[in-house]
Every structure is written in structure tokens, then in C-alpha cells.
């Protein structure tokens, strides 16, 4: 199959699924965040998770995902210790707090977005 036969995957889905376009925009924001500071990458990732939760009908403030695994740290280009330090920093800024279930609660989404430089 040639590249022209495959076409642009975004064009194939965008007119049928507005949520896909939103996903692509968030993904591109996260990719752009890769050149930003490590704490901005963490903030960007949390904003992405929050929006993904909202898109799926869950409360955006609750991040139930396990952030203590090396996979998330690897995605963000951080060690586990660095990820933990950045989460503590975001907590000290009152942007997030630990949740009793082991996840996180987003206290100030707008603050996270500003830190991640995702707002217009």
C-alpha cells in the first residue's frame, strides 16, 4: 500500500470524530512540551490526563492513573526520582494533592495549564 493510498489519518477521522481532533491537538501539545522544562512536561501530562478523563465522562480532577511506574517517567524523559520531585513541587504550588486512593487530585487546573504553557 502506498503512502497516497493510506492518506492522512487525521483527515480520515476528523470530519467524523471531533474528539479525535481534540486528542490530536493535545498530543501535539505534549510533543511540543518535550522541549520545555521537566516540570512543564509533568504539568502538560497531567493536563492531558485530566482532559482525557473528562472526555471519557470521568471527573477531570481525579487522576487515578499510577504515576509511580517507570513507564510514565520514561514517557516524560525523567527518572522516577525526578518525576516524584516534580510532583512534590506541583503539590507545594497547590496545583495537585495526593488522593486517598493513591492517585492525585487536580486542585488548580488553570495553574497547571499555565505552567505547561497550554493555554492560549
pLDDT in tens, 26-72: 667 666 655 678 999 899 889 988 888 888 888 878 887 777 778 88
pLDDT in tens, 33-45: 556 789 998 998 8
Whether the Cβ atoms of residue 102 and residue 66 lie closer than 8 Å to each other: yes
Please report how the helices 18-33 and 38-55 are oriented relative to each other, as an axis angle in degrees rounded to 10. Answer: 170
pTM, 2 dp: 0.68
All structural domains of the chain: 8-116 (1.10.10.10)
pLDDT (0 to 100) of residue 11: 53
What is the rounded (10 degree) CA torsion for 88, 37, 51, 105? 10
pLDDT at 119 over 50: no
Amino acid at each position: 500500500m502506498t503512502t497516497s493510498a493510506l492518506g492522512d489519518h487525521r483527515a480520515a477521522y476528523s470530519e467524523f470524530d471531533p474528539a479525535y481532533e481534540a486528542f490530536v491537538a493535545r498530543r501535539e501539545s505534549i510533543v511540543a512540551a518535550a522541549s520545555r522544562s521537566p516540570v512543564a512536561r509533568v504539568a502538560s501530562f497531567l493536563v492531558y490526563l485530566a482532559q482525557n478523563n473528562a472526555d471519557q465522562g470521568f471527573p477531570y480532577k481525579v487522576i487515578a492513573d499510577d504515576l509511580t511506574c517507570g513507564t510514565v517517567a520514561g514517557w516524560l524523559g525523567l527518572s522516577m526520582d525526578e518525576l516524584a520531585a516534580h510532583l512534590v513541587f506541583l503539590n507545594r504550588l497547590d496545583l495537585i494533592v495526593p488522593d486517598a486512593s493513591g492517585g492525585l487530585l487536580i486542585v488548580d487546573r488553570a495553574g497547571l495549564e499555565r505552567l505547561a504553557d497550554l493555554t492560549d
